[in-house]
Amino acid sequence: MPADSIRSVTLSTVTLPLGRAVSDAKVFTGRQKPMTEVVLLFAEIVTEQDQYGLGFTYSKRAGGPGQYAHAAEVAENLIGEDPNDIARLVTELEWAGASVGRSGLATQALAAFDVALYDLKAKRAGLPLAKLLGAHRDSVRAYNTSGGFLNASLEEVKERAGRSLEEGIGGIKIKVGLPDGAEDLRRVQGVREHVGDGVPLMVDANQQWDRATALRMGRRLEEFGLVWIEEPLDAYDVEGHARLTRALDTPVATGEMLASVAEHERLIEGAACDVIQPDAPRVGGITRFLRLMALADQRGLDLAPHFAMEIHLHLAACYPRETWVEHFDWLDPLFNERLETKDGRMLVPDRPGLGVTLSDRARAWTTASVSFGVR
């Protein structure tokens, strides 16, 4: 028998309303509707020794109910298991639901368990997750995305950019990919002039350019000294990304939409980006993310994880070379704690585990919950 074992698992799905509907290029090309909410799946794991771990995954626009349903089907497999054996347990959960595959929605659902097990393990050790994994630094360069969406006017984007810099965030990312490329260029030029040449600036086309447009726009954007051009092409166009990476001086970033290690391996092996942007909840959790970090480091890629800064701050701090973490304030109402930014960087909290606890508002926004092993 293990020294400790999992006594209960509780799953909760939470619908987080956004204060304002947001639109990126996919809305302006007619492929999606404006985003009004984020649906999260939380996993809370408690052991016989009353150790507690919290993990989460998320979905945007669709998939939340499916994640919850899949997680609920396999959660009972964790009861009685040793919580330290994270890799083994995640593999068992994958095989428990293998008939629906090991990528996409199924993988994303399992990420909540994986993250909760790591949170628990770090808390048991009395360490922040980054310290448990082996950090290279105590802070990570941070850039803001939530102020740069296309539904906002240029003046509003500039105002939000200035405010972010005043709050200690180091870089600014804005959305591009409009049907009118001239308007994209006007907005980028306006923000660059507003923040100055010394501020790191990124753009994100959200997969809405074809190869010819991406090359043409990429060349026009060279003059703005961008840190990277993000998702210029369809996420699965490895060959197109590789060609663009070779053709442009500006680094190319992509990877956030890929939902497995295997998909990222094709991207890495194809030399299809300069900056890789995996998302731990989307690839199945921290276990899988660590494998990706090793592959990316071996190829000398830069790393900038997507969204979910509450998880990714810890992981980015463990990458051998300097990284970026994406600052979104959307999830702030869900947690009692806040991540601190200073001098352009986000500070790794000294609290054990992820360093966050669920707020009363998160509990109030819960639309469904189920527990296993409670007695």
Active site residues: 175, 306
CB 120, CB 45: distance < 8 Å: yes
Instruction: Write out 120-139 in H/E/C secondary structure.
Output: HHHHHHCCEHHHHHCCCCCE
3-state helix, strand, coil in the chain (%, to 5): 40, 25, 35
Q: Rounded distance, CA 113 to CA 89, Å?
A: 9
Retrieve residue 299's tokens.
């190829």
Retrieve residue 169's tokens.
């965030």
DSSP 349: P
Phi, psi (rounded to 5 degrees) for 254: -170, 175
Retrieve residue 253's tokens.
């970033």
Retrieve residue 338's tokens.
């806040």
Which class for 230: exposed (0-12), middle (13-18), buried (19 or more C-beta within 10 A)?
Answer: buried
For the chain, how many helices (H) and strands (E)?
A: 14, 14
Sequence-distant contacts of 148-152: CB under 8 A, at least 24 apart? 148/172, 148/173, 148/174, 148/175, 148/191, 148/204, 149/22, 149/23, 149/24, 149/175, 150/23, 150/24, 150/25, 150/27, 150/28, 150/175, 150/177, 150/178, 151/20, 151/21, 151/22, 151/23, 151/27, 151/34
CB 176, CB 154: distance < 8 Å: no
Q: Rounded distance, CA 283 to CA 112, Å?
A: 11
Retrieve residue 166's tokens.
């005043």
Helix residue ranges, H only, 13-103: 25-28, 64-74, 86-96
Q: Rounded distance, CA 81 to CA 53, Å?
A: 14
